[in-house]
Amino acid sequence: MAPPTLPRRSPFPLKTLTHTPPLISHLPSPPSLPDAFLIDKLLFRLKQGDFSSVRNYLLRSNSSTLIPQLLHKCHQFPLLLPNLIQTVASTSPNPTVTASMVHFLVQAKNLAEAQSLLLRIIRKSGVSRAEVIDSLVNHNSNLNVVVFDLLIRTYVQARKLREGSEAFRILRERGFCASINACNALLGGIVKVGWVDLAWKIYEDFVRSGNSVNVYTLNIMVNALCKDGKLDRVGVFMSGMEEKGIYPDIVTYNTLINAYCRRGLVSEAFQLMDSMAGKGLKPGIFTYNALINGLCKEGSYERAKCVLDEMLGIGLCPDAATFNPLLVESCRKEDVCEAEKVFNEMLGCGVVPDLISFSSIVGVFSRNGDLGRALEYFEKMKGVGLVPDTVIYTILINGYCKNGDVTGALKMRNEMVERSCVMDVVTYNTLLNGLCRRKMLVDADELFKEMVERGVFPDFYTLTTLIHGYCKDGNMTKALSLFETMTLRSLKPDVVTYNTLMDGFCKIGEMEKAKELWCDMISREIFPNFISFSILINGFCSLGLVSEAFRLWDEMKEKGIKPTLVTCNTIIKGYLRAGNVSKANDFLNKMVLEGVRPDCVTYNTLINGFLKEENFDRAFYLISNMEEQGLLPDLITYNAILSGFCRQGRMQEAEMLSRKMIDKGINPDRSTYTLLINGYVSNDNLKEAFRVHDEMLQRGFVPDDKF
């Protein structure tokens, strides 16, 4: 929300009220005897809790004279005062009566009740700021300054800063000016929400009117400069304030040091701290906390620990904010040991960890798969009286989901709801992701409906997660429906969304749909990445449409996207599916020239292709070439050669190869034994077939016994 703009300074002279008058001198005179009897009767009704009778009488009578008398009498019974005020307020008295009540309460030093009444007034709909101020002006009272100060503070505390700024302006137009304390309260509230320009207008207007400021004003406006990123202007501003006799204090330095650290200017922050001694100031816990936080954010973890040691050495007692940056940084680096060390040091210093501390330590264990330790710290947190929040529950739910324990995640979710902890969109997204990964799409759909019913709006990640889940399940109709929902909600899909959908259609062989999505993606100026190209190339190759795949290959190179090993392996498979082994072999040389180094998958694919064509010479040449490249034949390589030998009935070579494989430290699998058994059976050598069968059983493999 843009801050309101203050008009130019009023030409009227301001009535600056700087003293507080005696508080009881303007209390109403005691009531006459008949009135006194009536007042006592009304007070008795209040004591009995019969508020409706009092309210009805006030509505029928001349409340403008009766209410001040009631207030005067009620001053002797302070416990009845809140009930009286509530009753009077509900009768909708005229502005004069309201003003008299506020002034009476201020005179009686009952500022809490006065502020409560002011809060009712400023929240009343249809009443402008001008009407509020005009009703509060009491020309027979010296308490206007106190009332107006309280009014401005009430606006600030009610977070009605726009209205408070307007009231401040109207006060000047009426010839009044609130005190420096009220001005500071307004400035502080406005700076806190980031309306820095408005804060400067109010400050300059206040100073131009001849009002004095103090060190609190200095600190608020220094904070304004820091929030606005104008650190270069702080020196000039502080010099101007020193000319007025206002000098920076520890808060000023802490504000600046914190600002420097947040902007990554840690060296400057240290220089500022070093200059404090010359001003007679000593760094405190906030100073050191800011420096530790700044050092951790810039990655200077060891130096941050040295600052902590220095802090402890001079006798300062750390708090949770001291240790949390160190804890967060060690957790960010996934250094579980260091994180636990910092946590224990924190306890050793007598510091009680807060929610940030526990969230960090629970999170690092959860992310690293040690959910048991994460839950231990979670229980410790509850043991020290801290109430778990949405963040920490979401961390644990994510931990359960990563471990594949969706049931545990749902139990944690139930505990969260039972403790009246509100699930946000991140919590729902985490659970949906876990359900989709386990292909529990019916449950995911139910959770999605619950999310919408509870008023939690699905975001981009919600719909992308569900789209991915349905694509993996092959339910492209549901995936496309969610994609349409995404566009209708003005949630812009990204390249990942399109890649997911295209991959889903490619897997079921619907290349036309995949190409439509490709064109739609381009039309939205969402540009394909190497994954997008790989998906479509793989889709075309799976159908043996290598020419289409190569068209995309050329387009990919034109766009400066370097082919990946996965893409190259996909094209080799495509050639083999099309029955063109020689072109697959030629492509091997081409990929090497493109700077893509083949791996075991590349060689195994080609070796298998040549063996299917009974070209053992070329297959063995590729094995030699593979070894020259530093790639050792694996189980897949040996099984491919075994398959070739067994098909040709070359069982002696097959047996020798199986022994060589074991000597090389590669253990046979079920496929290895099945190939040998089928080979021997095909050669009517049942004796050897049963020998291999027995060996297979000894190694723990269960044969299908269909030979």
pLDDT for res 448 = 94
Please list the residues that pair with 16 across neighbouring strands: 177
Task: Give the burial string for 145-156 (b: 16+ CB within 10 Å, else e).
Answer: bbbbbbbbbbbb
Please list the residues that pair with 177 across neighbouring strands: 16
- Return the SS3 of 659: helix
**Residues in the chain with pLDDT values less than 50:** 1-33
pLDDT for res 122 = 81
pLDDT for res 137 = 77
Range of the domain at 139: 63-178
CA atoms within 13 A on the CB side of 255: 19
Cα–Cα distance for residue pair 639/667, rounded to 1 Å: 11
pLDDT for res 203 = 93
In a domain, 418, yes or no: no
SS3 percent helix, strand, coil of the chain, rounded to 5, is 70, 0, 30
CA 660 from centre of chain: 56
Amino acid at 181: N
Question: Of 541, 532, 608, 607, which Cα lies nearest the Cα of 568?
Answer: 541
Residue 68: how many other CB atoms lie within 10 Å: 19
* Tokens read off for 126: 């249809």
- The tokens 């050495």 sit on which residue? 313
pLDDT in tens, 297-345: 999 999 999 999 999 999 999 999 999 999 999 999 999 999 999 999 9
In a domain, 184, yes or no: no
In a domain, 482, yes or no: no
Task: Give the burial string for 639-650 (b: 16+ CB within 10 Å, else e).
Answer: bbbbbbbbbeeb
In a domain, 98, yes or no: yes
CA atoms within 13 A on the CB side of 20: 12
Cα–Cα distance for residue pair 511/388, rounded to 1 Å: 49
Residue 243: how many other CB atoms lie within 10 Å: 8
Please list the residues that pair with 362 across neighbouring strands: none
* Tokens read off for 390: 């949405």
Where helices occur in 314-424 by DSSP H, the ranges are: 320-332, 336-348, 355-367, 371-383, 390-402, 406-418
Question: Of 706, 636, 637, 638, which Cα lies nearest the Cα of 678?
Answer: 706
In a domain, 116, yes or no: yes
- The tokens 């439509």 sit on which residue? 516
What is the per-residue DSSP string for 501-550?
Answer: HHHHHHHTT-HHHHHHHHHHHHHTT----HHHHHHHHHHHHHTT-HHHHH
In this prediction the pTM is: 0.71
Q: What is the 3-state secondary structure (H, E, C) of 226-259?
A: HHCCCHHHHHHHHHHHHHCCCCCCHHHHHHHHHH
Contact 532, 526 (CB under 8 A): no
Which whole-number Å values give the CA distances from 531 to 495, 502, 527, in the listed order?
Answer: 9, 11, 11
Kindly state the helix (H) or strand (E) to which residue 12 belongs, with its residue range: none
Cα–Cα distance for residue pair 370/226, rounded to 1 Å: 42
* Tokens read off for 305: 């620990």
* Tokens read off for 593: 């020239």
In a domain, 79, yes or no: yes
Cα–Cα distance for residue pair 84/67, rounded to 1 Å: 9
In a domain, 562, yes or no: no
Which whole-number Å values give the CA distances from 397 to 327, 365, 393, 658, in the listed order?
Answer: 21, 13, 6, 47
pLDDT for res 95 = 57
In a domain, 37, yes or no: no
Number of domains in the chain: 1
